[in-house]
Amino acid sequence: MKQLIILGAGGSGWDIVSIVNAINAVNGEWEIVGFLDDNPALAGKEFCGVRVVGTIDDAVKYPKVYFVSSIANPTNRIIRRMIWDKVTRFGCEFATLVHPSAIIYDNVTIKKGCVVNANCMLGNGACLEEDVHLAYACNIAHETVLKSHVTLGTGVNLSSGVVIGEDCYIGAGVSSTHDITVEPDTLVAVGAAIIDDLVNNSMKMWIGVPAIPIKEYIRKNR
C-alpha cells in the first residue's frame, strides 16, 4: 500500500478520507498517515479516525509519502496554488484520487493532485490539469478543460468546450453553456449561469442568472 497525507483537516479533508476508503474497498491502494493543518487548535485531534500529525511545513518530514490537498477558499483562491508550490518545493509527490462511482469516458486526462468525488462524470476528451478538486456530482462535458488548482463545488455542470482558468473557484450548482472561457483567479458564485466568457472584470467575481459582475449585481439589487 502507498502512504498518503491529506493537507487540510476540514470537511473536504474528511470527504477525501471517504474517497480513500471507497478506493481501498476495491483495490487496497492507500494507507492514510494523517492530516497536516496549520490551525494550532487542531493539532493532535482526530477526524474520521485520522489524526492531525503536524502543519503543512511538516510535509518535508515525509519524503516517501504521497500528498493530496483538500484546501480551497473562494475569497483567497490562490491559497490552493500556494500550498501546492510549498509542498512540491519539498520534493513531495501528489496523489490522484478518483472515487470509484465516478464515470470517466474515453480519452480523459486527470493529472496529479486531482480529487474527483463521488458521482462525478467526465466526458470524452475532458482534461483536469494539476491539483483540480471536484466536489460531489459534477458533470464535465466532452473537451472541457479545467486548468491547474481549480475548485468546483457540488453539482457544477459545465458544457462542452469550456475552459476554466487557473485558480478559479466555481461555486455549487453553477452551470455553463458550451465553448466559453473563464479567466484565471475568478470566483463564480453559487447557482450562477455562465452564458458567455467571464473576462475583463477587475474584481473577478461573478454572480446571478445570467452571471454578471458582482458590482453590477449590487447596483441592480439596491
List of domains in the chain? 2-95 (3.40.50.20), 98-208 (2.160.10.10)
Q: pLDDT truncated to tens, each residue of the chain (222 aa)? A: 999 999 999 999 999 999 999 999 999 999 999 999 999 999 999 999 999 999 999 999 999 999 999 999 999 999 999 999 999 999 999 999 999 999 999 999 999 999 999 999 999 999 999 999 999 999 999 999 999 999 999 999 999 999 999 999 999 999 999 999 999 999 999 999 999 999 987 878 999 999 999 888 777 777
DSSP string computed for 84-144: HHHHHHTTPEEP-EE-TT-EE-TT-EE-TT-EE-TT-EE-TT-EE-TT-EE-TT-EE-TT-
What predicted TM-score, i.e. pTM, was given to this entire model? 0.95
For the chain, how far is it from start to end, CA to CA, in angstroms? Answer: 57
3-state DSSP call for residue 42? helix
> pLDDT tens-digit profile of 38-55?
999 999 999 999 999 999
Is the separation of the CB atoms in 172 and 188 below 8 Å?
A: no
Residue 18: what residue type?
S
